[in-house]
Amino acid sequence: MGATLPRPALVDLKGRIFLGALAAICLAVPLLNLVVPEGSGLHLPTYLVSLFGKYLAFALLALSLDLVWGYCGILSLGHGAFFGLGGYAMGMYLMRQIGPRGVYGNPVLPDFMVFLNYTELPWYWLGFDRFPFAALMVLAVPGLLAFVFGWLAFRSRVTGVYLSIITQAMTFALMLAFFRNDMGLGGNNGLTDFKDILGFPVQAQGVRVALFLATAAALAIGYLIARFMTVSAYGKVLIAVRDAEPRTRFLGYRPEAYKTLAFVVSAMMAGVAGALYVPQVGIINPSEFAPTNSIEAVIWVAVGGRGTLVGAALGAILVNYAKTLLTGALPDAWLFALGALFVLVTLFLPKGIVGTAIERFGSRRAAARLPPEPEIPGKLAEEGRG
Amino acid sequence: MIRLLTLLLCLLAGPALAQAPGDAAYARLASDSYAEIEAGIVGLGASGDPRAGAVIGALADGRLLSRPADRALFIRDGSGLVEARTGAPASAEGLKPVRANNKVRRAIEAAMGGLNLTSPDPGKRREAADAMFKARDAGALPALDAALAKEADASVRRALTEARAAVILARPGAAEPERLAAIQTIAGRGDGDALGLLRALSADPSEAVRAAADRGVRTVETRLALIGAAQNVWYGISLGSVLLLAAIGLAITFGVMGIINMAHGEMVMLGAYTTFLVQGAIRAHAPALSEWSLAASIPAAFLVAGAVGVLIERSVIRHLYGRPLETLLATFGISLVLQQGVRSIFGPTNREVSAPAFMTGAFDLFGLSITWGRLWIVVFSFGVFLGLLFVLRRTSFGLKTRAVTQNRRMAAAMGIRTPLVDALTFGLGSGIAGIAGVALSQIDNVSPNLGQGYIIDSFLVVVFGGVGNLWGTLVAALTLGVANKLFEPYLGAVLAKIALLVFIILFIQKRPRGLFALKGRAVES
Amino acid sequence: MSEADLLSPEPAVGPATERRLTRALLYLDDVRVTFDGYRALRGLSLTLERGEMRAIIGPNGAGKTTMMDVITGKTRPDTGAAVFDGVHDLTRLDEPAIADLGIGRKFQKPTVFESHTVTDNIVLALKGPRRALASLFGWRNRVEAARVEEILVTVGLIAHRGRPAADLSHGQKQWLEIGMLLAQDPKLLLVDEPVAGMTDAETEATATLLRAIARDHAVMVVEHDMHFVRALACRVTCLHEGAVLAEGSIDAVSGDPRVVEVYLGR
């Protein structure tokens, strides 16, 4: 073995800033919520803790999307499906935790099943009373769907816009399916009225803070996994596939394998994001599968900067914060603003906030390292003569 | 039974004796007892009295009044009164309406049916025969026989024969050969009523009758299944034509130009709102022309949506050529803005677009029920398709469009103003989406969300048919429409739709370039 | 997850000694390809011996690129045989499997990974396992830097090793792609128009390089530039309308009246 080629650091400068900021809010939020007394001006109300937790769950969804879009060129318009499936898996666990405390007091069947005259639990609800099983399903269901869907699509070389359209059709089909009462998943109303998670009341202040911290941790872990993948040799091939997929085949790579792996990991991350989202907002219903939701997630990534990971998370938080502000103040203006954001970012900020910042900041450093002007390969001619 | 006997007696007695039972009938109508009133109706119906129709009709409408004092009957006619028996104007005090319960109403219907059998209007006679078919009143047999003997109109004869057969089957004492012949007749009718009649014979004591009825049931069932399938195919063609309308504009912007226009659905929506505005304007300023407001909306919708399309192309899409995914995102943003804009201007609720008279109602074609509105939409969508085909294949604009999309630089080098062609082609596709909106305003809710419902379907149609191939779009739209409607009876509407989505997703795996894709080196690059 | 596809289906013909259908490295027989009614290859037959260098000439539309597409698995022929190394039926394998057998290709339009550095482009092409999962955990992080450096020196891009490939000039991208071919170290190199857009000096250098490569590799070069073809000093095959029109030394082929008629001009 010869010398080692330089491998990029797992956590680079922007990663250090990102993880540092995440650690800082993980300290600040519990402190301001639990320790600072309620009367104080510095006190953070519990509903805001859950709101921030929701933002972080969206950030993880955006991160997962960036892994496939930014590094692999797969513009998935169906990531909401993976998010929703993860959310439903968690929702099913939370429903089973209600036990006999439902309106109808049935110890096994959730209220909506009693209402719809179910006599016993459908088979796919079995096992969801146990957290480890539910947690496994949070990963396995989105992962399996992504594997089947991705493997079929990538092997058939469905790329670009076509892939985007069929991912959209996928989430649309799921939305229609989950709207049906016959699915045994609550139909229109979805799953809600949760009571406990892991034996703790889901509404309690401490549990809210814990859920927030868990989401932050998941985001950090998700970032590290995505980063590990993208700086490895695997990541190099992934980018090669993004830029010139046919060319990689002639080098002996199988792009479908690389893409499927990224797609599956990404779907699992989105599933985890959904699972963390559900207990914090207290409901999961089929509208999570709406194609619009998935496209909205794409714009978070675009705003932050695709292919930067940190930017995706930042974009998700910024856009959702703006959404909270605007829908509160000027409900009509939000869709105008969101629509304008789509247009303006694609036209004027194609690299997003973080991408543009890196370009500005990075190009000055790169300029210093710029190699000398190209020379005609005299060495080459020499070689031939020898 | 009494009433049947009375009817029989009356018919047998003939007109000569009619006067007496007629008088009795009038007296009974003025009674307080429902049974008496019912008998009175039967009597009057059979009497041949020229006023019978008017009196029974008035009773049906609650306009027949009686004077308890002398049992005289009057009919309220507008603001005045006429004497029931003569029709002469009259005035009277202390009147109360003749009441009717359900039994009385049935008697009214039967009597009206009997009366209409002798009406000079063949349509009336047919209606009467149909009513008797449904009533299956054994007492009506002589009346039917009499009517059959006189009837010259073939369709009325058939209706009478069928009614007669129904009566015979319902009557307990009929002879077997007569019943077998009746079964033949009923089976020949071949609709749901016939099926019910024949099925009722499954417990008949006669084996021959049971066997014949059984055969009849099978014949009718086959026929009904065929009609049902044909009806579903028609619904499918109708749905397919809607898909075609929605997708055809996209077949140009996406199929020919390769632009992913997520705001395509909003172009359709703008067309629908233009229809709403045009209709409102015509109703306000030229009510006489309101029948033509849809026709007037077609060019208006084309221009409005086309102009918005050109604006979008010039301001946004132009900067994103060669970056399809970015185009997708930007146009999605535009679609949000357009939706919210329309919502802010017109409100979030549905707007009413009314249908002109020629698009309302339905007609019957070999047992298929076809609504005029759907038929016009099918015709319209094919018209738009052929028109577009003509524009692209036969005009110099179409030639330039194809030249620019196939080789932009070469086209530019040959002096074609490519930016203009781009803008106009995109405008054409958007304008056609607007035209689709005119038609869809007839069958869908005109709301800001109108377009969203079509965008995914439209893309799938174009992709399924093969990008860049108009005929492929046509075939894909009709295939998907018909398949959807054929699955629906088995799966239900939602599952059928899901099944189709899954099918298309799988199909694209197998043939990523659609049904009618070009093969070769150029496609890959 | 794709290993099953990678197993090359070997033709099951008789005992091991008879398994090689041909001694040639590449054996094309009566290959026919049709695109939407256009017959791109009409019974092309051609053999290439081990270590041989061959120049392919012919007018546009003669089927040169389609032939390379067939050899590399991009296009499936309608009929005909394409056998590599005597045992591998190329018509039944896909691109990665064929690349894995040792057939490398340089495209007419230089295709490099634009957002990767010059070094990374070479690293990606280096011979070695290609599995997705394995690539996550380590391999190729410890590649032989010396080998990469050697290749970069050979193609004259050592000074540009850290630049993104997107910044290279057209000619430099051509060389980078040749460098990637070298890194791949295939048994057979298919080189499509390597000197398009190059200056005379660069063309000369490229010819020298290809002659050097041909000492231990089989090379097939498609080129229009007759001076370059002459500089390669190898057998020449002229294609016309999807079939071989003439084959032999450069002088014999360029003297062939039919070649003059369809290609070189009078």
Mean pLDDT, rounded, for B157-170: 84
Of residues B145 and A321, more confidence is placed in A321
User: What confidence tier does A281 reach under pLDDT thresholds 50, 70, 90?
Assistant: very high
Contacting residues for C33 by C-beta, under 8 A, at least 6 apart: C39, C40, C41, C63, C66, C70, C75, C77, C78, C242
For strands B96-97 and B64-67, give the pairing: antiparallel
Number of separate domains in chain C: 1
Which of B342, B341, B327 has its CA nearest to residue B262? B327
- At residue B161, the pLDDT reads 87
Q: How far is the C-alpha of A272 from the C-alpha of A278, rounded, in Å?
A: 10
Instruction: Establish if C184 belongs to a structural domain.
Output: yes
- At residue B5, the pLDDT reads 53
Instruction: Say yes or no: B523 contacts chain C, CB-CB below 8 A.
Output: no
* Predicted TM-score (pTM) of this structure: 0.81
A192-206, A304-318, B3-17, B482-496: range with lowest mean pLDDT: B3-17
Q: How far is the C-alpha of B256 from the C-alpha of B27, rounded, in Å?
A: 82
- At residue B428, the pLDDT reads 93
Q: How far is the C-alpha of A230 from the C-alpha of A307, rounded, in Å?
A: 10
Beta bridge partners of residue C216, listed in sequence order: none
Mean pLDDT, rounded, for A251-270: 96
Q: How far is the C-alpha of C75 from the C-alpha of C78, rounded, in Å?
A: 9
Of residues B139 and A116, more confidence is placed in A116
Number of residues assigned to chain B: 525
Q: Cβ contact (<8 Å) for B520 and C36? A: yes
A293/chain C closest Cα distance in angstroms? 31
Tell me the pLDDT of chain C averaged across its residues.
84
C130/chain A closest Cα distance in angstroms? 6
Tokens 């922007």 locate to A14
Nearest to C154 among A228, A247, A383 (CB): A383
For an interface test with B, the pick among A69, A162, A178, A243 (most B C-beta atoms closer than 10 Å) comes out as A162
B523 pLDDT above the threshold of 50: no
C10 pLDDT above the threshold of 80: no
User: What confidence tier does B366 reach under pLDDT thresholds 50, 70, 90?
Assistant: confident
Instruction: Say yes or no: B314 contacts chain A, CB-CB below 8 A.
Output: no
User: What confidence tier does C19 reach under pLDDT thresholds 50, 70, 90?
Assistant: low
- At residue A65, the pLDDT reads 97
B189 pLDDT above the threshold of 60: yes
ipTM of predicted complex: 0.85
C-beta pairs of A51-56 under 8 Å, 24+ apart in sequence: A51/A324, A52/A25, A52/A212, A53/A208, A53/A211, A53/A212, A53/A215, A53/A276, A53/A280, A54/A277, A54/A280, A54/A281, A54/A320, A55/A316, A55/A317, A55/A320, A55/A321, A56/A212, A56/A215, A56/A216, A56/A218, A56/A219, A56/A276, A56/A317
Residues of C in contact with B518 (CB under 8 A): 36
User: Quick one: CA dihedral A320, A321, A324, A330, positive or negative?
Assistant: negative
User: What confidence tier does A16 reach under pLDDT thresholds 50, 70, 90?
Assistant: very high
For an interface test with B, the pick among A72, A166, A259, A326 (most B C-beta atoms closer than 10 Å) comes out as A166
Check: CB of residue B212 under 8 Å from CB of residue B227.
Answer: no
User: What confidence tier does A45 reach under pLDDT thresholds 50, 70, 90?
Assistant: very high
- At residue C15, the pLDDT reads 41
B20 pLDDT above the threshold of 80: no
Q: How far is the C-alpha of C86 from the C-alpha of C47, rounded, in Å?
A: 11
- At residue B352, the pLDDT reads 86
For strands C79-84 and A283-284, give the pairing: unpaired
A206 pLDDT above the threshold of 90: yes
User: What confidence tier does B334 reach under pLDDT thresholds 50, 70, 90?
Assistant: very high
Class of the domain covering B228-524: mainly alpha
Instruction: Say yes or no: B494 contacts chain A, CB-CB below 8 A.
Output: yes
- At residue C138, the pLDDT reads 62
User: What confidence tier does C78 reach under pLDDT thresholds 50, 70, 90?
Assistant: very high
Tell me the pLDDT of chain B averaged across its residues.
83
- At residue A363, the pLDDT reads 57
Residues of C in contact with B524 (CB under 8 A): 74
- At residue B4, the pLDDT reads 55
In tens, the pLDDT along B307-326 reads 999 999 999 999 988 888 88
Q: How far is the C-alpha of B108 from the C-alpha of B101, rounded, in Å?
A: 10
In tens, the pLDDT along B279-302 reads 999 999 988 888 888 899 999 999
Is B354 buried (19+), middle (13-18) or exposed (0-12) by CB count in 10 A? middle
C14 pLDDT above the threshold of 50: no
Q: How far is the C-alpha of C151 from the C-alpha of A101, rounded, in Å?
A: 72
Mean pLDDT, rounded, for A348-368: 77
What are the structure tokens assigned to C264, written together? 């070189």
Nearest to C142 among A1, A229, A379 (CB): A1
Which of C:26-45 have CB within 8 Å of B? 35-36, 38, 40
Instruction: Establish if C136 belongs to a structural domain.
Output: yes
User: What confidence tier does B117 reach under pLDDT thresholds 50, 70, 90?
Assistant: confident
Mean pLDDT, rounded, for C126-151: 77
Of residues A67 and B515, more confidence is placed in A67
Tokens 């096994």 locate to A108
Instruction: Say yes or no: B518 contacts chain C, CB-CB below 8 A.
Output: yes
The helix or strand, by DSSP H or E, that contains position B408, with its residue range, turns out to be helix B408-413
Is B364 buried (19+), middle (13-18) or exposed (0-12) by CB count in 10 A? exposed
Instruction: Establish if C240 belongs to a structural domain.
Output: yes
Q: Which domain holds residue C109?
A: 53-63+103-264
Q: How far is the C-alpha of C61 from the C-alpha of A180, rounded, in Å?
A: 57
- At residue B216, the pLDDT reads 86
Mean pLDDT, rounded, for A137-150: 97
CATH of the domain at C211: 3.40.50.300
User: Quick one: CA dihedral A136, A141, A144, A147, positive or negative?
Assistant: negative
- At residue C12, the pLDDT reads 42
Residue % of chain A over a pLDDT of 90: 74
Instruction: Establish if C182 belongs to a structural domain.
Output: yes
In tens, the pLDDT along C192-210 reads 988 887 888 888 888 988 8
In tens, the pLDDT along B406-438 reads 788 888 888 888 889 889 999 999 999 999 999
Instruction: Establish if C126 belongs to a structural domain.
Output: yes
- At residue C36, the pLDDT reads 76
- At residue B3, the pLDDT reads 58
Residues of C in contact with A261 (CB under 8 A): 1, 132-133, 136
Q: How far is the C-alpha of C58 from the C-alpha of C241, rounded, in Å?
A: 9
Helix/strand/coil (H, E, C) string of B218-265? HHHHHHHHHHHHHHHHHHHHHHHHHHHHHHHHHHHHHHHCCCCCCCHH
Check: CB of residue A293 under 8 Å from CB of residue A80.
Answer: yes
Contacting residues for B387 by C-beta, under 8 A, at least 6 apart: none
- At residue B1, the pLDDT reads 52
Eight-state DSSP code of residue A306: T
Residue % of chain A over a pLDDT of 70: 92
A194 pLDDT above the threshold of 90: yes
Q: Cβ contact (<8 Å) for C146 and A3? A: yes
B156 pLDDT above the threshold of 70: yes
First CA to last CA distance, chain C: 56
Mean pLDDT, rounded, for B33-49: 79
Q: Cβ contact (<8 Å) for C36 and B521? A: no
Domain boundaries, chain B: 228-524
Check: CB of residue A267 under 8 Å from CB of residue A64.
Answer: yes
CA-nearest residue of chain A to C162?
Answer: A371
Q: How far is the C-alpha of A153 from the C-alpha of A166, rounded, in Å?
A: 9
Check: CB of residue A145 under 8 Å from CB of residue A81.
Answer: yes
Mean pLDDT, rounded, for A211-226: 97
Longest dimension (CA), chain A: 91
Instruction: Establish if C114 belongs to a structural domain.
Output: yes
- Report how many helices (DSSP H) and strands (DSSP E) chain A contains, helices first: 14, 4
Tokens 């290959």 locate to C31
B2 pLDDT above the threshold of 60: no
Mean pLDDT, rounded, for A283-294: 94
Tell me the pLDDT of chain A averaged across its residues.
89
User: What confidence tier does B525 reach under pLDDT thresholds 50, 70, 90?
Assistant: very low
Q: Cβ contact (<8 Å) for A176 and B335? A: no
- At residue C266, the pLDDT reads 52
For an interface test with C, the pick among A250, A308, A363, A373 (most C C-beta atoms closer than 10 Å) comes out as A250
Of residues C140 and A347, more confidence is placed in A347
Mean pLDDT, rounded, for B76-103: 81
